[in-house]
């Protein structure tokens, strides 16, 4: 019997597979680049390619830009350096992996992790078209990252952690793969603390990046429990009443020790998508 969490994950996978096929010209025209597929995708520049500067978009193949589904621009805040190893969780069409690969240079590496075959195929094609060679795309779940412990300098993500049904596992895995002193710099949808899980679900679907969002205090507590310090959650733009695009930053402690603080998971709502 399929669990509610598995059903939600399959809804997410199916929707983003559809988006990848549409961008590749294989779908029904419901690609997020058209502004018709992803919730709020182009409205007021809240989601997608509009959140990248023109010069960044010019660095990329058109398909990578069209496949941008995020709520921010993590490469603009991750402070990447030459020679670093970067991991992008939920890498989609590869836009942030390609941008990261160019910033860390030939001595560095950029990994992209995605669970959707169609997105991985699109990302690999985009990387070839962009002419970057220091990239590696992996299939897997962000709750079970297929990389060794202490192997990554920076973890980025663009509006993906909110889609997980086990955010405590995601944050623990991020901490595991980061080297001591490694950095987290992600864009995500985050709720104001005043909103209950039910109120978040009323504002949008789970697969549309709204219903599954953590509140600000929940995010901060979850990161501290996973062994992070210097935790900040900064709202950047409102995407719905009390729901914001946000920049989330943290540093893995030199000797991580979870503090036992709970991560409160928003309750999945059947049929929310």
Q: How far apart are CA 128 and CA 199, in angstroms?
A: 43
Q: What is the mean pLDDT of the chain?
A: 80
Spatial CA neighbour of 97 closest among 67, 141, 54: 67
Indicate whether 180 belongs to any domain. Answer: yes
Mean pLDDT of 178-199: 95
Q: How far apart are CA 158 and CA 147, in angstroms?
A: 19
Indicate whether 42 belongs to any domain. Answer: no
Indicate whether 13 belongs to any domain. Answer: no
Number of domains in the chain: 1
CB 195, CB 242: distance < 8 Å: yes
- What tokens appear for 217 in the block? 């205090």
CA distances from 118 to 10, 135, 210, 245 (A): 14, 17, 23, 26
Q: How far apart are CA 149 and CA 146, in angstroms?
A: 10
- Evaluate if residue 252 carries a pLDDT over 80: yes
pLDDT in tens, 108-157: 999 999 999 999 999 999 999 999 999 999 999 999 999 999 999 999 99
Q: How far apart are CA 210 and CA 216, in angstroms?
A: 14
CATH assignment at residue 150? 3.40.50.150
Q: Would the CA dihedral through 267, 268, 269, 272 be positive or negative?
A: positive
- Evaluate if residue 66 carries a pLDDT over 50: no
Task: Give SS3 for 110.
Answer: strand
Indicate whether 37 belongs to any domain. Answer: no
Range of the domain at 168: 70-252
DSSP class of 51? G
Percent of residues in the chain assigned helix, strand, coil, to nearest 5: 35, 25, 40
What pLDDT is attached to residue 149? 97
CB 92, CB 24: distance < 8 Å: no
Indicate whether 129 belongs to any domain. Answer: yes
CA 108 to chain centre: 21
Indicate whether 266 belongs to any domain. Answer: no
First to last CA, the chain: 20
**pLDDT classification of 36: cutoffs 50, 70, 90:** very low
Indicate whether 152 belongs to any domain. Answer: yes
Indicate whether 220 belongs to any domain. Answer: yes
Q: Which residue has the tokens 């969002």?
A: 213
Say whether pTM exceeds 0.85: no
What pLDDT is attached to residue 147? 98
CA distances from 138 to 16, 118, 208 (A): 16, 12, 24
């Amino acid at each position: 019997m399929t669990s509610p969490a598995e059903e939600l994950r399959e809804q997410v996978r199916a929707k983003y597979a559809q988006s990848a096929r549409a961008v590749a010209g294989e779908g029904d025209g419901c690609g997020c680049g058209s502004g018709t597929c992803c919730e709020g995708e182009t409205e007021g520049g809240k989601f997608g390619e509009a959140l990248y500067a023109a010069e960044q978009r010019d660095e990329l193949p058109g398909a990578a830009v069209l496949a941008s589904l995020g709520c921010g621009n993590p490469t603009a805040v991750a402070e990447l350096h030459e020679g670093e190893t970067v991991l992008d969780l939920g890498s989609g069409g590869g836009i942030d992996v390609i941008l990261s690969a160019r910033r860390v240079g030939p001595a560095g590496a950029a990994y992209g992790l995605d669970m959707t075959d169609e997105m991985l195929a699109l990302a690999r094609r985009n990387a070839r078209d962009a002419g970057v060679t220091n990239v590696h795309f992996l299939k897997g779940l962000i709750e079970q990252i297929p990389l060794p412990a202490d192997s990554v300098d920076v973890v980025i993500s663009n509006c993906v952690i909110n889609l997980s049904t086990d955010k405590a596992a995601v944050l623990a895995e991020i901490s595991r793969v980061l080297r001591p002193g490694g950095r987290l710099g992600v864009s995500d949808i985050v709720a104001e603390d005043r909103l209950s899980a039910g109120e978040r679900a009323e504002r949008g679907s789970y697969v549309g990046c709204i219903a599954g969002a953590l509140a600000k205090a929940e995010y901060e507590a979850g990161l501290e429990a996973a062994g992070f310090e210097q935790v900040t959650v900064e709202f950047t733009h409102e995407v719905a009443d009390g729901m914001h695009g946000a920049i989330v930053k943290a540093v893995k402690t030199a000797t991580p020790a979870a503090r036992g603080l709970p991560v409160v998971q928003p309750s999945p709502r059947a049929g929310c998508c």
